[in-house]
A = this chain, B = another copy of it.
């Protein structure tokens, strides 16, 4: 136990450290069955320490989900900022960024949309989710303004594209987009089918 000397009684930034450990474990086994005690153990603190920062296990999960939405938003914004030739191309880039994020962080993505990440009882989480949804909404508004998207009720296009992207992401990480069923490149193909219905020059 030589490390007892190294570590001061107070961790300094335990909250952040716990989150990092939990994110690592989430990434490692792609689910959030990890126990709070294991998180504490790996972070090198007692099993009761986390309760000083998170009311219970679910509150930690919701914080992870919130971070997930923030990162997803960054990924989508980053993909869009690349100089795309058209709004349609920008849409495709954002959608693929979202699906890519899900594929690289399947556990986190699943958590974000699971019932363990209950947005109705966690305003910061709700806000983060809505902010990410806002990115999509603004994209559609741009598309309608510049005339590349059909002037349908924007809410219909929003629901359709959000569902499409989210559905593709979920199916992808569930390994249900098997080539035998949906062809070799289902994601761009599916997005094109949707965009044919949303864009003017179909």
Contacts and interface: CB of A to CB of B under 8 A. Distances in A.
A171 B182 contact: no
Contacts of A110: 114-115
Give chain A's interface residue range (CB within 8 Å of chain B): 35 or more
Copies in the complex: 2
A202 B197 contact: yes
A183 interface: yes
A115 B173 CA distance: 9
B137 A158 contact: no
Contact of A156 (B119, B165, B183): B183
Tell me whether chain A's interface is mostly helix, strand or loop, or mixed. Answer: helix
Interface stretch (A16-24, A36-44, A186-194): A186-194
Interface string A103-137: 00011001001111001100000000110010001
Interface of A: 30-31, 106-107, 110, 113-116, 119-120, 129-130, 133, 137, 152-153, 155-168, 170-171, 174-177, 181-183, 186-187, 189-198, 202
